[in-house]
Structure 1
Amino acid sequence: MLLSLPTTVSGIQQALAEGAVPVGGATLVWATWQRDGFPERAVSLRKLPEANVVGREELGAAVLLHQVDDRVPEVLRRAAGSVGTGAVRRTATVGGNIVGSTLRCLLPAALVLDARARVLATDRPYETDLAELVAKRPLLLGLHWRAPLTSGYRKLPGDAGGPPPFVVAAAVHADGEDGGRLLRVAVRDGYDVISESADCGAGTEAVLDTLRDTPLGALPATAREAVRAQVTETLAGPGLG
């Protein structure tokens, strides 16, 4: 297998046009390749500068999960830190987790940040929302978002060989010029991801009441308690004083 490591978007496009298969850390496809055969050509974003940024309001698709640190909001850092083992986090990439994986451990965190995706089509890069990113699975270059006031994340224990552990992510954003605040909540329940939002103006109990009237209110009792606990913790978090 010939691996190309372009340093420009045009170089990535040329490699794709020549039939190269995009690859990140290859943690999801390696076993399949070993069984079915390796592609003749592959292309990686590993050397593309814009796919390797880590910042307060942006994260590149080629960033390894163990490199997602306190430069990004807490919700995203904690989500990345909860994926697999240390060995997996040293090879798996942000793009592979969100676009290539059925687990999409980072997706709830990206949703509560109201992130936008920069992706690469055959003719040009363009920006899209997370719904299109997940549905169409284009080549992801990176994510960007507006920094939240505060955020949080928790993952419930899971059984080996069982369904994916339940996760809940939450973030509070400034909403408009009048000092309003908006809470975004997203959960992964099995392989399904649900996201909702609520105005924070009336206090924590009012927010919880609002969320109970959404699909989050139909979750199993253990999951509902995790949502309640994370929302309460997030609304009491730093940055909201």
Structure 2
Amino acid sequence: MLLRLPTSVSEAQEYLAQGAVPIGGATLVWAGWQRDGFPELAMSLRNLPEANERGRETLGAAVLLHQVDERVPEVLRRAAGTVGTGAVRRAATVGGNIVGSSLRCLLPAALVLDARATVLSQDRVYETDLTELVAKRPLLLSLHWRSPLVSGYRKMPAEAGGPPPLVVATAVHADENGHRRLRVAVRDGYEVFSESTDCGPDAARTADALDASALGSLPAEARAVLREQVTEILDRAAEH
């Protein structure tokens, strides 16, 4: 297998045109390749500046999970910090987790940030939403969002080898007029559900509004955890 390490977008596009397979941190594909055979040409974005950004409102696809630090919102930082083991987090990338993983541990955090994705094709760089990113799985360059007032993340305990643990991500956003909106995302099993609602002073009423949405079809345990997290995040938002 020949591994390409582009240092510019145009170079990465050239390798894509040649049929290079993006590998991220290779934590998800290596076992399959050992079983089924390695591709002739692969490509890593680890030397591409656009894929290594870390900032208050941006995160590159080639950033390793253990490098996701206090520069990004709490919800994204905590999501990255709970993926796998330390060894996995030192190898796995943001892009590989969101686009390549069936668990997509970072996806709920990205959803509540209302993130947009900058992606790369053979002939252009363009922006898309997370729905298209997950469905079509283009080559992710980076995520971008507007900073929330507050955010939170909770991952429930789970047995090794069992079903994926329940995840609840939350964030409160404010527009230029001070209007506040709560975004929540829940991973239940392998499915991720997200909703948003206006924030009011009454946390119970806000939670009821979410319960009346599609999130009301979640199991009772998941709804109970969601209500706890909604109350907590709105209490924190009240301090801002």
Q: What is residue 77 of structure 1 aligned with on the other side?
A: 77
Q: What is residue 190 of structure 1 aligned with on the other side?
A: 189
SS at match of 2:236: coil
CA contact (8 A) 2:62 2:93 kept: yes
Q: What is residue 3 of structure 1 aligned with on the other side?
A: 3
Q: Aligned pairs, how many?
A: 240
Q: What is residue 219 of structure 1 aligned with on the other side?
A: 218
* CA displacement 1:128-154 (0-9 Å, x = unmatched): 000000000000000000000000000
Aligned residue identity for 2:39: P
Q: What is residue 41 of structure 2 aligned with on the other side?
A: 41
Aligned residue identity for 2:227: R
* CA displacement 1:128-183 (0-9 Å, x = unmatched): 00000000000000000000000000001112221110100000000351x21000
Q: What is residue 19 of structure 2 aligned with on the other side?
A: 19
Q: What is residue 206 of structure 1 aligned with on the other side?
A: 205
Report the Cα offset of residue 203 of structure 1. 2.4
C-alpha RMSD of the superposition? 1.1
Aligned residue identity for 2:53: V
SS at match of 1:195: strand
CA contact (8 A) 2:172 2:237 kept: no
Q: What are the within-5 Å matches in structure 2 for residues 59-208 of structure 1?
A: 59-177=59-177, 179-208=178-207
Name the CA distance, whole Å, in 2 between partners of 1:208 and 1:117. 29
SS at match of 1:236: helix
CA contact (8 A) 2:117 2:129 kept: yes
Give the direction of change, closer, same or farther, for the CA distance of 1:133–1:144 in structure 2 (3 Å limit): same
CA contact (8 A) 2:166 2:186 kept: yes
CA contact (8 A) 1:149 1:240 kept: no
SS at match of 1:198: strand
**Structure 1 residue runs of 4+, over 2 Å off?**
238-241
TM-score, length-scaled by structure 1: 0.97
CA contact (8 A) 2:14 2:122 kept: no
CA contact (8 A) 1:70 1:77 kept: yes
* CA displacement 1:96-125 (0-9 Å, x = unmatched): 000000100000000000000000112100
Aligned residue identity for 2:49: P
Name the CA distance, whole Å, in 2 between partners of 1:18 and 1:227. 46
Gaps of 5+ in 1: none
Name the CA distance, whole Å, in 2 between partners of 1:104 and 1:220. 20
Aligned residue identity for 2:207: L
Give the direction of change, closer, same or farther, for the CA distance of 1:239–1:126 in structure 2 (3 Å limit): farther
Gaps of 5+ in 2: none
Name the CA distance, whole Å, in 2 between partners of 1:175 and 1:207. 18
SS at match of 1:237: helix
Aligned residue identity for 2:75: V
CA contact (8 A) 1:149 1:239 kept: no
TM-score, length-scaled by structure 2: 0.97
Name the CA distance, whole Å, in 2 between partners of 1:12 and 1:109. 28
State the identity %. 73
